[in-house]
A and B are shown apart, each in its own frame.
Chain A
């Protein structure tokens, strides 16, 4: 399983764009990159998944460079309600979570 590294915490202000980068140097050829969001006392929620280049949905964008050894989750114009823990996962089969990135959005 590919090991992932992401910042422990990040702070931002309402209305800003937030970029969270995840490193996964030993990603395998068939591995997808998936991001989840978790609020306190709730289960994680799927945000976005990608394999290469760029993926965008109504919530976020995911940027993956050609070597796929890292990925960046981009949250446009965050609000206070985006305060949560964000997890980067790489691989197939059952998800293995790390500690995630605790994003705090301030007014």
Chain B
């Protein structure tokens, strides 16, 4: 079992550009959540996908959007990148969107906006 895999591991983008990050959940998991983690802070919840729908969303602007595919994999898109979007982006998968079940995290994608 490969666990949660994220790609790419590192990315450098220019301010104003758009970026797409990808996540494959752990086998058997159908729920994917995305988090942004700035240096020295805890992960901040962006949104959660279940059954290809966005179920919950944190306090992030519309520049942040996502998608979940029928195979449960997910993408996070960020438009009009700002310097402040530089962070570690984490994907977590679980098998129940409503229960506090054990979630598995990927290693993250380190995004640097210059």
- Identify the A interface with B (CB < 8 A): 31-32, 34, 41-46, 49, 85, 87, 89, 91-100
Contacts and interface: CB of A to CB of B under 8 A. Distances in A.
A46 B33 contact: no
Contacts of A93: 48, 56, 97-100
Interface of B: 4, 33, 35, 41-45, 48, 56, 58, 88, 90-92, 97-100, 102-108, 110
Given A87-B42, A97-B44, 4 more contacts: A43-B91, A44-B43, A46-B103, A97-B35
Nearest to A45: B105
A98 B42 contact: yes
Contacts of A31: 100
A42 B109 CA distance: 10
